Structure 1
Amino acid sequence: MGIQPFPQAPTDQSAASSLTALRAQLEAAGCFERKPLRAVAELVANLLGSVLAFLVARQLMRAGAPWAAAPMFAVGSFLFYRNGWLMHDAAHGGSWPGIKANRWFAALVAGVLGEFPSGWRHGHNRHHARTNVLGEDWDQRERWDPTRRYSSRWRAWMGLFLFTRYRGIYLPASLLFMGLRDGYYCNRHYRDRFAAELTAVIIGLGLQLGGFICLAGVWQGVLLFLLHTHLGMIYLNSAFAGNHYDLETFTPEQARELDMASLQARTTRNYAGGWWTHYVFGGLEKQLEHHLFPHLPRHHLHRAAPYVRDFVRARGLPYHEAPFWHCYMRVLDFHVDPPRTQAPRT
C-alpha cells in the first residue's frame, strides 16, 4: 500500500487529535507490530559476537599484534553494548505485546549490562517529556553548564565524550557512573524494586569482570573491564549526541505553550544514512519518530518516517535530518562557541 500524505489539519483541530490520526495511520501500516523473537535472537547474537571478538583480541595479543587486538577489543565492546538498544526498546514497551513481558525483558537485558532499568527509565522519561527544556531535561544537562565550554573541537571532544563532570571534578566517562546514578533513582523512587535490580546488577557486572579476568588475569582483567565500560559510555554518548544538543532550547514557561509535536519536532534531529547507520544506531537514528511515539518498536521507525515527515511538514514544523558526522561536529562547535541563537529565548 502506498503512503498517503498526511492531510493538512484544519485550524480548529487539536494537536492531540492530529497525533491520534497519525498513530492510526502508523498502526494501519503495521508499524506497531512487536517481534519478541527478533529481540531474543539479537540479544544472543550480540553476546556471542562480543565474546568471539574478545577471544580473537586475546589471541592477537598473544601473537604479538596489539595494533590488531585493540580494534578487535573495541568491536567486542560495541557488540556488547548494542544490547542497550534492546533494553531501551523493552523499557518503552516496544519489544513484547504485554507490559509485564516488556518489563521482564528490560530487566533481563539491564542485568546483563549491569544497569538499573527502573532508575534509568525514571530519568529517560523526563527527557522524552521535556526535551531541551531548560533545567528539566535530565539527559541534556551538559549543554547548559557554562563551565563546559572549550577552546577547540579536540578539547570539546575530550570534555564531552571522554570525561564526565561531577561537582567540579572530571572523571572518565563510564557506564559504571551512569549505573550509580540510576541506582540512586531506583532506590529513591522505586524502592520495592531496588533489591532485585541491585542483585541483577551485581551478577551482571560480576560476570563481565570475571570474564575479563579469565581472559587476561586479575589486574589486566580489571583494567580491561574498566576500559570496556568506558568504551560503552563513549558509544552511547556519541550515538545520541547529535539528536538534540544544538537545536532549540526552551524555558519551562515557553515549553508549556507548545504542543507535544511542536516541542519534539523543534528539538529533535534524525541521522540520515543507509543500512550501516541503521545497524550502528539500532533504528534510533529516526529519533523524531521515536520521540513522538516512544512505544513504537525501533525496527519499524524507518517505516514510520515518511508518515511523520508529511505530518510535521503539513503543520509547518521542521523535519531535522543530517548525516551523523555533520551532527557530531555541530555538537562540538556548540561547546566551542555556542551560537547566540541557541540560548533560551526570553
Structure 2
Amino acid sequence: MSDTDFGATKGRGSEFAELSRLVRRAGLLDRRPAYYTIRMGVVTASFVGAAVVFVRLGESWWQIVVAAVFAVILTQAAFIGHDAGHRQIFRSRRGNDVVGLVFGDFLTGLSYGWWVDKHNRHHAHPNTEGHDPDIVVAPLSFTTRQATARRGLGALFVRHQAKLFFPLLLLEGAHLHVNSIKTVLGSGRLQYRLTEAALLTLNLAIYVTAVLLVLSPAQAIVFTLVNQGLFGLYLGCSFAPNHKGMPILTEDDDLDYLRRQVLTSRNVRGGWLIDVALGGLNYQIEHHLFPSMPRPNLPKAKPMVRRFCADRGLAYHETTLIRSWAQAMGHLDAVGAGRSSPPLARSS
C-alpha cells in the first residue's frame, strides 16, 4: 500500500461521519421488511420443496442431486442468518435473534451465538494480526509469521496450501458444525444456550433420521458427504473473496475506521446473479463500513462510497469473482513459498 493509504490518520475520523450522514440522508440504513419477508419465504419454500422431493424420490442415487440443491438452500439460509446477526432485518435485537436462531441453528445446524461473536470480532479488526479470527484458521497460514511457526506436516501443507484451499473447503461444513456444538456445550458466554442446544439437537435428529429412513446406508453416507461438502465449499467460496489477499494489518497500523474497513476489503462485481449467489457479500466494502445496512441497499450505496473514496484518494478495490479467487490463492501461494504477496491491481 502507498504512504497515502497508510499515512497519518489524525483528524480523519470526521470523514466517515461525513459519509455516514450522506448514507443516512439517502435512507440507505432504513430497514427493508418486505424484501426480507420475500427472501425468507423463498428460502423456506425452497427448503420444504426440496424435502418433499427427497421423500418422494426415495431410495435412489438421484438423491445426490437433491443433496447439492440442499447445499445451495442451506447456504442461502446462512446468508439470512448473517444479515440477522448484523441487525439488518429488524430494528429490534430480539426480532433479529429469532430469525438468526431459526435460519442458523434450526435450518443450517450452526450456532448463531457462536457465529455472531466470532464475526463481530472480525468486523472490529478486519485482516488484523492477533485480532481477526478469520485469519487464524489452521492449517492455513495467512502471514509469514504463521507460516514459519508451522512444523512437520503443517509446514508441508502450508507450502501447498493454495492448491489445497478449495479441497479443504469441502470440510468447512463439518468444521462449522463441530465448533457450534463445542460452543453450546462449553462454558463460555452464550445468550441463548438452552435454545441453541435444543435447536441444534433437533436439526441433527431430523437430518439423521431422514437420511436413514429414506436412503440405503450407502446412499445416506454419500448424501451426507455431498451435502455437507458442497455446503462448506459454497459458503467458503462466498467468504474467501472478501478479504483474502487484501492487506493484512498489524497492531502498529494506526488507521481510522474508514481506511481500516476499505483498505482490507474487496468488492466483487458481476450483476444480479453474483448478488444472489454471494448473498450481498460481494459489496464487502459497503457492508464493512455499514454492517447494519440491509442487503438490498448495498448496491445503492456503492456509487456513493466509491465516489467518496475517489475524492479522497482512497483505494477502492473491486474485481470479478474469478480474479478475486485468483488474488486470494496468489496470496496463499506467496505465503507458502515464503515470499511477499504480489501487489494487487486497483479497480479501474
Tell me if both proteins adopt one fold, taking TM over 0.5 as the criterion: yes
User: Which of 163, 167, 187 is residue 168 of structure 2 equivalent to?
Assistant: 163
2:285: which partner in 1?
288
What is the deviation of 1:216?
1.8
**CA distance in structure 1 between the partners assigned to 2:90 and 2:247 by the alignment:** 34
What is the deviation of 1:331?
1.7
What is the deviation of 1:47?
3.3
Q: Structure 1 residues 37 and 263 mapped into 2: Cα distance closer, same or farther (>3 Å)?
A: same
CA contact (8 A) 1:50 1:77 kept: no
Q: Which runs of 5+ in 2 are unaligned?
A: 1-7, 148-154, 344-348
**CA distance in structure 2 between the partners assigned to 1:59 and 1:327 by the alignment:** 40
Q: Structure 1 residues 160 and 17 mapped into 2: Cα distance closer, same or farther (>3 Å)?
A: same
Structure 2 residue 158 is matched with structure 1 residue 149? yes
Q: Structure 1 residues 71 and 332 mapped into 2: Cα distance closer, same or farther (>3 Å)?
A: farther
With normalisation by structure 2, the TM-score equals 0.81
Q: Structure 1 residues 12 and 108 mapped into 2: Cα distance closer, same or farther (>3 Å)?
A: closer
Q: Deviations over 1:104-126 (max 9, x none)?
A: 21112112211111111111111
- 1:110-259 alignment, distance < 5 Å: 110-111=104-105, 112-141=107-136, 142=140, 143-144=142-143, 145-146=146-147, 147=155, 148-151=157-160, 156-157=162-163, 159-163=164-168, 173-185=171-183, 187-254=186-253, 257-259=254-256
Q: Structure 1 residues 192 and 305 mapped into 2: Cα distance closer, same or farther (>3 Å)?
A: closer
User: Which of 95, 99, 116 is residue 89 of structure 2 equivalent to?
Assistant: 95
What is the deviation of 1:269?
0.3
**CA distance in structure 1 between the partners assigned to 2:255 and 2:10 by the alignment:** 15
CA contact (8 A) 1:131 1:137 kept: yes
Q: Aligned Cα RMSD in Å?
A: 2.8
Amino acid at match of 1:239: S
Give the SS at the match of 1:79. helix
What is the deviation of 1:42?
2.0
Which of 289-298 and 205-214 deviates more?
205-214
Give the SS at the match of 1:139. helix
**CA distance in structure 1 between the partners assigned to 2:60 and 2:158 by the alignment:** 43
**CA distance in structure 1 between the partners assigned to 2:57 and 2:37 by the alignment:** 30
What is the deviation of 1:316?
1.8
**CA distance in structure 2 between the partners assigned to 1:335 and 1:57 by the alignment:** 39
* Identical pairs, percent: 24
**CA distance in structure 2 between the partners assigned to 1:195 and 1:333 by the alignment:** 43
Q: Deviations over 1:12-48 (max 9, x none)?
A: 9943332222222222222112223432432332233
Q: Deviations over 1:167-223 (max 9, x none)?
A: xxxxx5142321332444454432453222111111123223333334424553244
With normalisation by structure 1, the TM-score equals 0.81
**Count of matched residue pairs:** 317
What is the deviation of 1:304?
0.7
Q: Structure 1 residues 226 and 70 mapped into 2: Cα distance closer, same or farther (>3 Å)?
A: closer
Q: Deviations over 1:234-262 (max 9, x none)?
A: 111111112211111121222xx111111
Amino acid at match of 1:156: A
1:82: which partner in 2?
76
2:152: which partner in 1?
none
Give the SS at the match of 1:273. coil
| Higher RCO structure, 1 or 2 (CA under 8 Å, sep 6+) | 2
CA contact (8 A) 1:246 1:331 kept: yes
Q: Structure 1 residues 190 and 37 mapped into 2: Cα distance closer, same or farther (>3 Å)?
A: farther
What is the deviation of 1:327?
0.8
User: Which of 271, 274, 279 is residue 277 of structure 1 equivalent to?
Assistant: 274
Which of 23-32 and 204-213 deviates more?
204-213
Q: Which runs of 5+ in 1 are unaligned?
A: 1-10, 165-171
What is the deviation of 1:284?
1.5
CA contact (8 A) 2:113 2:190 kept: no
**CA distance in structure 2 between the partners assigned to 1:140 and 1:12 by the alignment:** 25
2:46: which partner in 1?
49
Amino acid at match of 1:238: C
